[in-house]
Structure formats: structure tokens, C-alpha cells
Amino acid sequence: MANIVIDKSLIENLAKKNNEDYFNKVNDKISLILSNAIENLSSKIPFITAKNIVFQPYNEILSGAITDNTVFHYLLGVENGQLELNTMKVNMFWKNFKNRFKYAWENRRKKKSRRKSKKDKNLNADISNIDISKYSIFNLTDDLFDAIRQYLSETSIIYQDDNVLYIIGKDDFGVNAKIKIEICFYSNDNFKFFINKKKGFKTIDFTCRLNCLHEKIREAGPNFLKILKIFNVLYFYANNERPNAMFMESVLYNIPDKLYEENNVYNCYLKIVNYLTLKPINNFNSINDLSLKIYQDGILGSGQQVGFLKMMRMIADRK
């Protein structure tokens, strides 16, 4: 737990810190790089064009409550039924493979093992003659990886994990900038994530979240985003990890608008802390789906309530 003093000075400094220029620089740069990469790939891959791609901010960059440790997390949604079907086939293959592997392992005999070396991908390899019946979201992520890195400087780092790309590069984006791009499916305003560990999908519709954020900012005023930014930082101090953005938005969305009506942001912060000390957040609704409680919405992430209580104890101990 960070050794900090949570006083008026800290809260006011966190509230007034302006990351807008930093956000715009990163956002504009990654948008340009992706636009160029997609244009490059669209002539070779039938699954991807500028018309069937949706680029969506995912975490706190959606609300604008970014902090120094914010990861720029985006969704790159592809609207293509064939690609989704192919990925489901891959999913079924690995389920069957797991069962076959289990049988083989239980009935194994000792054999000599051999290593097979991996060669780096050729960036100039021809990917136009692909088998469209087998091309999955993981193949698309591989090809986007190669396309994107052609537009990065030599000092930038890009790596991938299944259908997620990560980029770090101070020369391209600025010091401490970290970008995460999750490749997923898009259909009827829904984003569908392929979860490799669970071998399945989860779906999220941003409509409710966006409407709730707009409503709260309009009704509660500018202090809502200031408190959201403050709590994002305090959660990080307490847990050494960032909160799930939608979890923290859900907590602060459920707080009455009148508690945000303060000219002094520190007084506003104190009122909200006192309110949260008395009100169990289990009764709060999810900002993604107001029919669900926070603990019922799996998209908000596991362990968030434990981390939140840890933050609240830190606040109580270090006032």
C-alpha cells in the first residue's frame, strides 16, 4: 500500500490535473496508425475494411477520467459473420483437442522430445491467398500485429496475447503511454469478446453505459468526473492496480446528484466518502445494465469490491 497522506492538498491536486493534451496526442496517434494499418490490410484480407470496423474506447478513456497510470484500452470490433463462425470452429477444435490430449497424456509412453525452432514472420509475406474458411480472429490479430508495427518507430514495443495487442512507445505516444487493443466482434451495437481461457464469448452493449455517463455528468456537474478521477487514483494507491473503469463508474453513478453540488471539490469528496462509508455498494446498480446489481455483472471484474473496501480503509486510516 502506498505511503501517502490523503489530505486536502492531494485531493485538490488530483482533481485539477489536466491530462487532455496527453489523451489527445495518444488517441490521435493510435487512430492514425490503425487507419493506415487497416487500409493496408483491406486490400489483402476480405474480412476487414474501413466500413466494417468500429474503434471503441473501453476503460476510463471513455469518460475522460484518465490518470497518469491509465492504459489506453480500445476495442476493435469487426462486423463479419464468417470471421465469427471461423473463430467458433477454432474454439470447438481446441475443446476437442483438450479432450484428446487428456486421453493421450493418461495413456502416454515415454518418447524422445524434439524442439522445433520458430522463425520470425516475414513482414512482406503474401497474405492475400488465405483460406477464408479457416481464417479466425487470431489470424486477424497476427496480421494486424504485422501491419501496425510497420507504422511504429524502432523504439516502440508491440506484442500480442491471443486476440489482444499491446503497444508501448514513448517516442510515438509519450512517456508512460501504454496501449491495449482488443480485437473482437461487433454486431447490432454489441461487442463480443472471445475469451480464450473460458473458450467462449461475453457480450457488452455500451448504450446504457454511455447514456448513464451523459446523464450523470449533466445532472451532477463537473465534480462527477473529478471524483471519478480521484477515486481511480486512490484505488491504484491502495491496490497497486487500476480499478475496472465500469465498476468505479457504477459506484459513483449510484451516489445522489446533490452530493456532487459543491464549489469546493474537497468538500464534495468528503461528503461522498461519508456516504460510501454508510451505504453498502452491493445494493448499487451496474452502469452497464441498470437491472443488475454490481456483484451480478461479470463485466465489472472479480475482486473489485474487495479492492474498493481496501481503498476505503486506506482513506479512513490516512485522513
Mean pLDDT of all residues in 77-88: 85
Cα dihedral across residues 179, 185, 191, 196: positive or negative? negative
Lowest mean pLDDT among 120-129, 148-157, 275-284: 120-129
Using CA atoms, how far apart are residues 239 and 105, in angstroms rounded to an integer?
40
Mean pLDDT of all residues in 165-173: 92
Is the pTM for the entire model greater than 0.85? no
The answer to whether 233 touches 14, Cβ cutoff 8 Å, is: yes
Q: For residue 126, is pLDDT > 50? A: yes
Amino acid at 239: N
Using CA atoms, how far apart are residues 118 and 121, in angstroms rounded to an integer?
9
Indicate the domain borders of the chain: 20-84+124-204, 207-317
At 33-67, the pLDDT tens digits run 999 999 999 888 888 888 899 999 999 999 999 88
The pLDDT value given to residue 17: 85
Using CA atoms, how far apart are residues 130 and 149, in angstroms rounded to an integer?
21
Helices (H), 154-221: 170-173, 207-220
Residue in the structure block whose three cell numbers are 522430445: 113
Mean pLDDT of all residues in 73-102: 69
The pLDDT value given to residue 18: 82
Mean pLDDT of all residues in 183-199: 78
Lowest mean pLDDT among 12-26, 107-121, 173-187: 107-121
Q: Which has more pLDDT, 250 or 201? A: 250
Cα distances (angstroms) measured from residue 6 to each of 65, 66, 274: 19, 19, 15
Would you state the CATH architecture of domain 20-84+124-204?
2-Layer Sandwich (3.30)
Residues of the chain by 3-state class (helix, strand, coil), percent to 5: 50, 15, 35
Q: For residue 102, is pLDDT > 70? A: no
Instruction: Cell numbers for 160, please give them.
Output: 500480442
Q: For residue 110, is pLDDT > 80? A: no
Q: For residue 8, is pLDDT > 80? A: yes
Share of the chain above pLDDT 90, in %: 57
DSSP string, 6-42: --HHHHHHHHH---HHHHHHHHHHHHHHHHHHHHHHH
Q: Cβ of 210: how many Cβ atoms within 10 Å? A: 13
Helix axis angle for 20-42 and 137-149, nearest 10°, is: 110
Q: For residue 137, is pLDDT > 60? A: yes
Using CA atoms, how far apart are residues 120 and 103, in angstroms rounded to an integer?
33
